[in-house]
């Protein structure tokens, strides 16, 4: 286990298509976070899981976005009917109980 | 609502010069602050956190509650310090991070 992994690393899609990203956290980290980062900005919080329960969602997470973490292990983030404004880097982070968050390499989404 | 402000986008210094990366925050609760760093083509990683009061790679940061600041300092910059630096505030029961916009540090030989 070398850290948080994300798949795919890059995704190019056409407007209106659905996309799904996967995050595999560090084993035994019960906390999992999704962030979004656009050009020139720092990461912005999207949603949080503790084990399999989604406990918080940002207002940034519109109805087109859904996230899951079945069995409290990996997580998926799905965007339906993508828009050009969804183009961003999507980051996943996991954390034990010490509040330090370990980030994955991110998935860069480009919506044409 | 919590907010983190990094007022500068870019700091360019010569090797051996002192570095100070500014960070100010706004938060009604007891703050827990971090500096994250992203080297070229690498993932975001934790540099230091204020509760540890450690010096990492020669960097230090002191939380000043009166000035609501958490500036990152290093007395003698090295070329390998060139990277993007983000200040972040931990908040809420779910410990989410609020990041500043980041600053690019460029250390010239």
Per-residue pLDDT of A69-93, as tens digits, reads: 998 899 999 999 999 999 999 999 9
- Distance separating alpha carbons of residues B28 and A80, to the nearest angstrom: 36
- The strand pairing partners of A41, in sequence order, are none
A-to-B residue pairs, Cβ atoms closer than 8 angstroms: 52
- Are residues B97 and A106, on separate chains, in Cβ contact within 8 Å? no
pLDDT at A1: 52
Measured between its terminal Cα atoms, the distance across chain B in Å is 41
What's the pLDDT tens digit per position in B40-79? Answer: 999 999 999 988 878 889 999 999 999 999 999 999 999 9
Structure tokens at B17: 């010069």
Q: Quick check: A36 contacting B, CB < 8 Å?
A: no
């Amino acid at each position: 286990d070398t850290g948080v992994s994300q798949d795919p690393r890059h995704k190019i899609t056409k407007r209106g298509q659905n996309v799904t990203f996967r995050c595999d956290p560090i084993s035994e980290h019960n906390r999992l976070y999704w962030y979004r980062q656009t050009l020139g900005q720092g990461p912005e919080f999207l949603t949080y899981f503790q084990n399999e329960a989604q406990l918080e969602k940002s207002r940034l997470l519109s109805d087109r976005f859904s996230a899951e973490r079945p069995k409290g292990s990996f997580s998926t983030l799905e965007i339906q009917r993508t828009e050009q404004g969804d183009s961003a880097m999507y980051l996943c982070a996991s954390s034990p109980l010490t509040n330090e968050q370990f980030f994955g390499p991110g998935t860069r989404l480009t919506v044409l | 609502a919590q907010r983190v402000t990094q007022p500068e986008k870019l700091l360019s210094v010569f090797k051996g010069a002192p570095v100070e990366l500014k960070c100010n925050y706004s938060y009604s609760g007891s703050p827990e602050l971090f500096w994250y760093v992203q080297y070229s083509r690498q993932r975001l990683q934790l540099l230091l956190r204020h509760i540890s009061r450690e010096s990492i790679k020669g960097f230090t940061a002191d939380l000043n509650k009166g000035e609501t600041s958490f500036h990152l300092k290093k007395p003698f910059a090295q070329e390998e310090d060139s990277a993007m630096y983000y200040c972040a505030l931990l908040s809420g029961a779910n410990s989410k991070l609020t990041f500043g916009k980041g600053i690019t540090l460029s250390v010239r030989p």
